[in-house]
Amino acid sequence: MSLYILPKERLPGFVENLRTQFRVVGPVRSGTGYAFDTIGSAEEMELDYPTTILPPKKYLLPQREVLFSFHTDSDEQGARQIEVKPVFDAVEPTVIFGVHTCDMHGIMLYDKVFAEGYKDEHYVARREQTYIIGIECLRPCDDASFCKDMGTLTAPPVYDLHMTAVDGMYLVDTGTEKGERLLLSNVEVHLATTEDIRRLSQTLSAKWPHFRHRLKMTKDQIPSLMTINYGSNIWDTLGEQCLACGSCTNVCPTCFCFDVQDEVALNMTDGERARIWDSCQLHEFALVAGGHNFRESKASRVRHRIMRKGKYIQQVHNINGCTGCGRCQRACLVNITIPGTLNALYDEMQIDLNPAGGA
């Protein structure tokens, strides 16, 4: 697998060819922002978009996904009969263009969560039919992102193809054999020359100074920071601010929790069991029959979310639980932010460690 040159003027033809075989998805304008959506032509995409409202997770774990269909009936004696049938029909071969490096880190986590332990074949079926075409981030999205702190400013090995815009062309790295086949069979490209690769290196090294650090600690210190500060008063403060709306978890590329709901047709015998995005920020999330709620307070729910991002996901999957994409900050109605929270915890700890400093 190699580095190829795709001249920018050949992108429309590439997309056109792909559209005959796949649902092609890319970042398009949506209201005042951008969103991943199905595209009719390359011109609809803006590959130098800042960020999207939702990460591309919606194509791998749709907001609503049918798990199986069912039919219930009664036999002659009136006993309930049940038929269940797994549903995998909705899986559509898809090419996702323009995935940022942070979102690829999110997909890397999803691959671990859903493919390890009990294999979730609903996810796997979609994933196998999905091509990820990344785009190298050369400028920060906006002030909310902190990918540089989280180490997600470089592409992890989940892409099939990864494009870097260099002058009038894209340098395309092939991450998988199926990605290379997709490229070579749908557009005319040529191997990058030594000079092309020199310009790529120059572009990549020039991008770093444009990204700033927002965290006062390194990402490797975050799990310990979370452990030390489990009992911090900051969670109570955040709990008072939080509206428990769940916007943060909806837009998060590493949130994957879901509810399972049955939906019955009007005939009351046919229906579907579907999974639907859920949020640990909602009151019912840890409520059990009988009325006990294991996270009754908003403080405990905000803490759980940020603990997951900063520590728990790392403990279970050995991958950072936060990609630094900044979406939860943009979505939050009361301006609760992960960098703000982590920095406040860090500051608090500095004070505790240096009691004389407060005098």
List residues near other proteins by CB under 8 A.
Answer: 67-68, 70, 72, 77, 79-89, 91, 113-114, 117-122, 124-125, 230, 256-262, 264, 268, 271, 273, 275, 278, 280, 285-290, 292, 294-295, 304, 307-308, 311-313, 315-316
Which of 126/214 has CB closer to other proteins? 126
Query: Cα separation of 100 and 134, whole Å?
Result: 6
Which of 112/199 has CB closer to other proteins? 112
Which of 209/292 has CB closer to other proteins? 292
Which of 78/355 has CB closer to other proteins? 78
CB of 321 to other proteins, least distance (A): 10
CB of 123 to other proteins, least distance (A): 9
Which of 32/267 has CB closer to other proteins? 267
Sign of CA pseudo-dihedral 111, 117, 119, 123: negative
CB of 292 to other proteins, least distance (A): 6
Query: Cα separation of 334 and 77, whole Å?
Result: 58
Query: Cα separation of 62 and 97, whole Å?
Result: 17
Residues contacting 237, CB < 8 A, separation 6+: none
Query: What does residue 101 show for φ and ψ, rounded to 5 degrees?
Result: -60, -35
Residue 287: DSSP 8-state = B
Total residue length of the chain: 359
Rg (CA), the chain: 23
Which of 120/136 has CB closer to other proteins? 120
Helices (H), the chain: 11-19, 101-115, 121-128, 147-150, 177-184, 194-207, 222-228, 234-241, 247-250, 298-307, 313-317, 327-331, 338-353
Quote the tokens at residue 292: 């006990």
Query: Cα separation of 101 and 151, whole Å?
Result: 10
Sign of CA pseudo-dihedral 310, 281, 261, 331: negative
Which of 125/165 has CB closer to other proteins? 125
CB of 258 to other proteins, least distance (A): 5
